[in-house]
Structure 1
Amino acid sequence: MEGLLDARLRAEVTRIAHYDWCVTEFVRVTDGVLPPRSYQRVAPELLNGARTEGGVPVRVQLLGSDPQQLAANADQLARLEPAGIDLNFGCPAPTVNRHRGGAVLLDEPELLHDIVSAVGRAVAGRVPFTAKMRLGVRDTSRAIEAAQALAEGGADMIVVHARTKLDGYKPPAHWPWIARIAEAVRVPVVANGEIWSADDYLRCRSESGLRDVMLGRGAVADPLLATRIRARLAGEDEGDPAGDWPRIAPALTGYWRRVLAHVEARHAAGRVKQWLNLLRRTYPQAETLYQALRPVRDNTTVERMLMAAVAEACAQAPG
């Protein structure tokens, strides 16, 4: 999730709830082997045993189209001992696709096979090796062929975002297509796309036939989403977003401090507003805070308002 779920936000989200593992933003591979610092910049968790502060393993994602360059960089990356390496064949961004990266490669199953085979040989079982794809570029006509190319090339697992590149992020996600892909390959498949609630998870599970899902924007909009899903499956109370706000609000100030330490001051307010913009889908208190902060540009004022909101949330917490 380029430009959104970076190491700073990963740290906060994975302190709130447990995830089996998470994936970084992509590292673009073009010419030459990147130095270790390039990977550590995107995944500072590599300096902490490839885990977030909340203890969640971190896999690093590569994006590119040259099999040999990707293989050489995967070899370099594996030496840094990430929790896994993921290949990005899902990004729909025009700037990425114009440079033959991301979802546009789904029209070239032979190239997908060559990339995955080369990377698989370079990694040689040292770390888990996964790939993420969409259903195609303009349509789903080559979805099965693309997935089989990834599986036969040697990917250990395939994550399927159930939309085409042309679909972007427009609802709906076509979960039944994931079931077709899962039937056509011999490696585990994980469902992804348009899962914002426990109800969405259950519908996705019913339509895809898969228990395992990857949460994207849904986990940013509700950091407790994985917890709610597990509670629903266990027949337990999954909680109420309004009542859960005291668990979420302190992470805003934690995130704010991380942003101030690593992002240019003029961009800091925008980053916290970006998170709030998604949080307000789930939490009514986030909507109120977002509207109050929206016109504010001064960082001192932003911090004061965040601190006040957190103090109010904590004061209203039970017990």
Structure 2
Amino acid sequence: MRVVLGPMEGVLDHLMREILTEINDYDLCVTEFVRVVDQRLPDHVFHRICPELTQGSQTKSGTPIHIQLLGQHAQWMAENAVIAAELGAKGVDLNFGCPAKLVNKSNGGAAMLQHPEQIYQVIKSCRDAVDPTVPVTAKIRLGWENPDDCFEIVDAVEQAGAAELAVHARTKAGGYKASEIKWDYINEIRKRVSIPLIANGEIWNYEDGQRCIATTGVDSLMVCRGAFNVPNLGNVVKHNQAPMPWSEVVELLIQYSTYEMKGDKGMYYPNRVKQWFAYLRNQYPEAMELFREIRIHKTAAPIVADIKRYRDALHVS
């Protein structure tokens, strides 16, 4: 089984990748997307999204990283894919699944699901332009509103030459509702194509992963939101490891604080750590108590002080 740590815009930055790949046996990471509009982007944009380019496009623990691009213009996507590859990206992933309204409004992300021919053009242009030794992959949803559209979309992806395809088993209209997950469609896709598939959506624990594999016939899984609910979800899904105990999560929060303060995103730390708490509360009831303490703070130092104070009290008790 392969387990991939998927991208989450505004949450899964390089510091979070470093922490999560250090404690999990992930096979691959995908970055937050680089938004491509109508120009060749400067190198520093790629390095900002993926500082790991300076260490062979992998995390310190050795997990390879693919850079994700999002855009709808084939020429500009191809030119920027070439830049990413030349900077050393281990792969270039193309986003046709993001459901964010702002992105869709400008015909990016999931909006492209309405235009399979355009998806074909973008992937083919990137595949033709990028060094053939660098994989060009894609991520989609099942369609905009009708999941049956996935077959035409997947055909376009395969014909364009993508090396692998991650399928989030919901439509754009389905959002992130658990009731909208349709793993059985991935099984139907698998029967029709030869391209390797990654199954994504509603994988929160080991049992979910096993059910997804049984339903889809696909043994490569991608986790996203769940990786923030349970920090060791990669190992939970892959090795049936028990979820990390809360006391260890608190230590991880302190480690993350240290990374953030040293990194270039220190000013974003308060928002980032509060976002993480929003996920942790889904798994750990104790997170709510600590969140109540830190949420009033707007700067990093008092947040870190509160977390350390909480950690020390845990050890005393």
Aligned residue pairs: how many? Answer: 308
* C-alpha distance 178-315 of structure 1, shift in aligned 2 (>3 A): farther
- C-alpha distance in structure 1 between counterparts of 2:123 and 2:191, whole Å: 20
Report the more deviating stretch, 116-125 or 144-153: 116-125
Which residue in the other structure is 1:126 paired with? 133
* C-alpha distance 126-249 of structure 1, shift in aligned 2 (>3 A): same
Deviation readout 1:41-82 (Å, 9 max, x if unpaired): 110111111111222111100011111111111111111111
Paired residues for 1:14-53 under 5 Å: 14-53=21-60
SS in 2 for 1:187: coil
Contact 1:81 1:127 in 2 (8 A): no
Contact 1:22 1:57 in 2 (8 A): yes
Measured after TM superposition, the shift of residue 83 of structure 1 is 1.6
Contact 2:236 2:243 in 1 (8 A): no
Contact 1:136 1:142 in 2 (8 A): yes
Which residue in the other structure is 2:210 paired with? 202
TM superposition score normalised by structure 1: 0.91
Amino acid at match of 1:62: L
Which residue in the other structure is 1:185 paired with? 193
Measured after TM superposition, the shift of residue 300 of structure 1 is 2.9
Measured after TM superposition, the shift of residue 93 of structure 1 is 0.6
* C-alpha distance 9-92 of structure 1, shift in aligned 2 (>3 A): same
Report the more deviating stretch, 89-98 or 247-256: 247-256
Match of 1:239 among 239, 242, 247: 242
The runs of 4+ residues in structure 1 deviating greater than 6 Å are none
Q: Is 2:213 the counterpart of 1:211?
A: no
Contact 1:16 1:248 in 2 (8 A): no
Contact 1:249 1:313 in 2 (8 A): no
RCO higher in structure (CA 8 A, sep ≥6): 2
Paired residues for 1:274-293 under 5 Å: 274-293=275-294
- C-alpha distance in structure 2 between counterparts of 1:150 and 1:78, whole Å: 20
Q: Is 2:264 the counterpart of 1:262?
A: yes
Contact 1:29 1:63 in 2 (8 A): yes
Measured after TM superposition, the shift of residue 181 of structure 1 is 1.3
SS in 2 for 1:182: helix
- C-alpha distance in structure 1 between counterparts of 2:316 and 2:196, whole Å: 45
Which residue in the other structure is 2:3 paired with? none
Measured after TM superposition, the shift of residue 313 of structure 1 is 5.3
Which residue in the other structure is 1:146 paired with? 153
Measured after TM superposition, the shift of residue 245 of structure 1 is 2.8
SS in 2 for 1:297: coil
Paired residues for 1:64-75 under 5 Å: 64-75=71-82
* C-alpha distance 300-199 of structure 1, shift in aligned 2 (>3 A): same
- C-alpha distance in structure 1 between counterparts of 2:61 and 2:251, whole Å: 15
* C-alpha distance 65-240 of structure 1, shift in aligned 2 (>3 A): closer
| Unaligned 5+ runs, structure 1 | 233-237
Measured after TM superposition, the shift of residue 247 of structure 1 is 3.2
TM superposition score normalised by structure 2: 0.91
Which residue in the other structure is 1:301 paired with? 302
- C-alpha distance in structure 2 between counterparts of 1:215 and 1:195, whole Å: 6
SS in 2 for 1:3: coil
* C-alpha distance 264-229 of structure 1, shift in aligned 2 (>3 A): closer
Which residue in the other structure is 2:5 paired with? none
- C-alpha distance in structure 2 between counterparts of 1:153 and 1:42, whole Å: 26
Amino acid at match of 2:300: N
SS in 1 for 2:148: coil
Match of 2:11 among 1, 4, 17: 4
CA RMSD in angstroms comes to: 1.8
Contact 2:233 2:243 in 1 (8 A): no
Measured after TM superposition, the shift of residue 231 of structure 1 is 2.5
SS in 2 for 1:141: helix
